[in-house]
Amino acid sequence: MCTISIDVDEATIQQIDPRLTSRESIGRWLQHQVDLMLEEMTVSNDLAENRRLALERDMTPEQLYSVVLEEIEDIYAN
Protein backbone atom coordinates (compact mmCIF):
# COMPACT_ATOMS: atom_id res chain seq x y z
CA MET A 1 0.00 0.00 0.00
CA CYS A 2 1.22 3.49 -0.68
CA THR A 3 -0.09 6.91 0.24
CA ILE A 4 -0.27 9.69 -2.32
CA SER A 5 -1.52 13.23 -2.30
CA ILE A 6 -3.68 14.78 -5.02
CA ASP A 7 -5.38 18.11 -5.53
CA VAL A 8 -9.08 18.15 -6.35
CA ASP A 9 -11.56 20.95 -6.94
CA GLU A 10 -14.00 20.63 -4.03
CA ALA A 11 -16.73 22.48 -5.92
CA THR A 12 -16.56 19.98 -8.77
CA ILE A 13 -16.61 17.05 -6.36
CA GLN A 14 -19.67 18.53 -4.62
CA GLN A 15 -21.42 18.83 -8.00
CA ILE A 16 -21.01 15.07 -8.31
CA ASP A 17 -22.30 14.45 -4.80
CA PRO A 18 -23.39 17.37 -2.56
CA ARG A 19 -22.83 15.22 0.54
CA LEU A 20 -19.06 15.36 -0.03
CA THR A 21 -18.43 18.37 2.15
CA SER A 22 -15.45 17.37 4.29
CA ARG A 23 -11.91 16.29 3.48
CA GLU A 24 -12.67 12.93 5.09
CA SER A 25 -15.79 12.26 3.03
CA ILE A 26 -14.03 13.34 -0.17
CA GLY A 27 -11.05 11.14 0.72
CA ARG A 28 -13.25 8.09 1.31
CA TRP A 29 -15.13 8.71 -1.94
CA LEU A 30 -11.92 9.13 -3.93
CA GLN A 31 -10.43 5.97 -2.39
CA HIS A 32 -13.54 4.05 -3.40
CA GLN A 33 -13.32 5.40 -6.98
CA VAL A 34 -9.64 4.42 -7.24
CA ASP A 35 -10.39 0.94 -5.85
CA LEU A 36 -13.13 0.45 -8.46
CA MET A 37 -10.85 1.67 -11.25
CA LEU A 38 -8.01 -0.66 -10.21
CA GLU A 39 -10.38 -3.63 -9.99
CA GLU A 40 -11.72 -2.87 -13.47
CA MET A 41 -8.20 -2.57 -14.87
CA THR A 42 -7.17 -5.87 -13.27
CA VAL A 43 -10.19 -7.68 -14.73
CA SER A 44 -9.51 -6.15 -18.14
CA ASN A 45 -5.86 -7.24 -18.03
CA ASP A 46 -6.87 -10.77 -17.01
CA LEU A 47 -9.32 -11.01 -19.91
CA ALA A 48 -6.70 -9.77 -22.36
CA GLU A 49 -4.20 -12.35 -21.08
CA ASN A 50 -6.78 -15.14 -21.38
CA ARG A 51 -7.52 -14.11 -24.96
CA ARG A 52 -3.81 -14.00 -25.79
CA LEU A 53 -3.36 -17.51 -24.41
CA ALA A 54 -6.41 -18.73 -26.34
CA LEU A 55 -4.90 -17.49 -29.60
CA GLU A 56 -1.70 -19.45 -28.93
CA ARG A 57 -3.47 -22.81 -29.07
CA ASP A 58 -5.14 -24.61 -31.93
CA MET A 59 -8.84 -23.91 -32.11
CA THR A 60 -11.83 -24.52 -34.27
CA PRO A 61 -13.20 -21.72 -36.44
CA GLU A 62 -16.06 -21.37 -33.93
CA GLN A 63 -13.64 -20.92 -31.04
CA LEU A 64 -11.65 -18.35 -33.02
CA TYR A 65 -14.86 -16.51 -33.87
CA SER A 66 -15.75 -16.42 -30.17
CA VAL A 67 -12.37 -14.91 -29.23
CA VAL A 68 -12.63 -12.29 -31.99
CA LEU A 69 -16.19 -11.45 -30.94
CA GLU A 70 -15.04 -10.92 -27.33
CA GLU A 71 -12.32 -8.56 -28.56
CA ILE A 72 -14.79 -6.54 -30.62
CA GLU A 73 -17.27 -6.35 -27.73
CA ASP A 74 -14.51 -5.22 -25.39
CA ILE A 75 -13.38 -2.50 -27.80
CA TYR A 76 -16.89 -1.08 -28.18
CA ALA A 77 -17.72 -1.43 -24.46
CA ASN A 78 -14.76 0.77 -23.55
Q: How confident is the model over 52-68, as pLDDT tens digits? A: 777 777 778 888 888 78
Report how far residue 76's alpha carbon sits from residue 13's, in angstroms, rounded to the nearest whole number. Answer: 28
Work out how many domains the chain is built from and give that number: 1
Domain assignment of residue 1, yes or no: no
Cα–Cα distance list, 55 to 23, 42, 48 (Å)? 48, 20, 11
Domain assignment of residue 2, yes or no: no
Domain assignment of residue 72, yes or no: yes
Residue 29's domain comprises 21-77
What would the pLDDT profile of 3-31 be if each residue is shown by its tens digit?
Answer: 888 899 999 999 999 999 999 999 999 99
Report how far residue 78's alpha carbon sits from residue 76's, in angstroms, rounded to the nearest whole number. Answer: 5
What's the Rg (C-alpha) of the chain?
20
